[in-house]
Amino acid sequence: MIAKEGYPYIAFFITIAIIIEKVFDVYWSILPAVLGLYVTYFFRNPKRNVIYDPELVLAPADGKVMSIEKIFEDQFFNGPAIKVTIFLSIFDVHINRIPVEGNITFQNYICGKLKPAYKSSAPFENERHAIGLENDNGMKVMIIQVAGILARRIVSWVNLGDRVQQGQRYGMIKFGSCTEIIMPINVAVSVAKGEHVKGGKTIIGRITPDNK
């Protein structure tokens, strides 16, 4: 499966490859053809068998865990929380998924700069889109899509007030990025810094009895 956002890029490179092959030589059409294949690979949208479990918080994206830290979140939690930052390389699947079932009760988009997503300042200065989820037990989880240096637009397929399912595809970030997930302070984190996770598959945290 290919995300529809990739169709214009794929069509562009295929068209360029065909034109170059007709006007010049097939040899010169190899580069745009390879770029077209890569773009097709980048916008892949694989189907995944999601674990539906209200006790679990699933990874919102594929990528490498850059950091796990305690923070004070002043937009949605208005209090202490745990933030896990996941860096998505240009070879990772860039589809984002919902970590817990619930309602979207917070949404905020900021049009910012385009610094490399692995820079510590990127989450504060780059283009980003945040959604806050609240489940039926009142537990809150926040996901933030952060654009990278190659990214040009964050894509979201959900809106404020939507009811979303665990593992549901909700958006993507084009060409390099990072995704942050912010959870209550007493969620037991199940991943470590440097670990590679998969959206909708890897368990990021477990909800403790105090969170119910």
What values do phi and psi take at 123, rounded to 5? -60, -20
Distance CA 183, CA 82 (A): 5
DSSP state of 170: E
**Residue pair 182/73 in contact by the 8 Å Cβ criterion:** yes
Nearest to 4 by CA among 56, 57, 40, 30: 40
What values do phi and psi take at 9, rounded to 5? -70, -45
Q: Give the active site residue among 29, 89, 121, 177.
A: 177
Any residues with CB less than 8 A from the CB of 84 and at least 6 apart, and which? 65, 67, 68, 180, 181, 182, 183, 189, 191, 204, 205
Q: If DSSP codes are grouped into helix, strand and coil, which group holds residue 134?
A: strand
Instruction: Tell me the one-letter amino acid at 82.
Output: I
156 given a catalytic annotation: no
Distance CA 140, CA 13 (A): 42
Residues with a catalytic annotation lie at 177
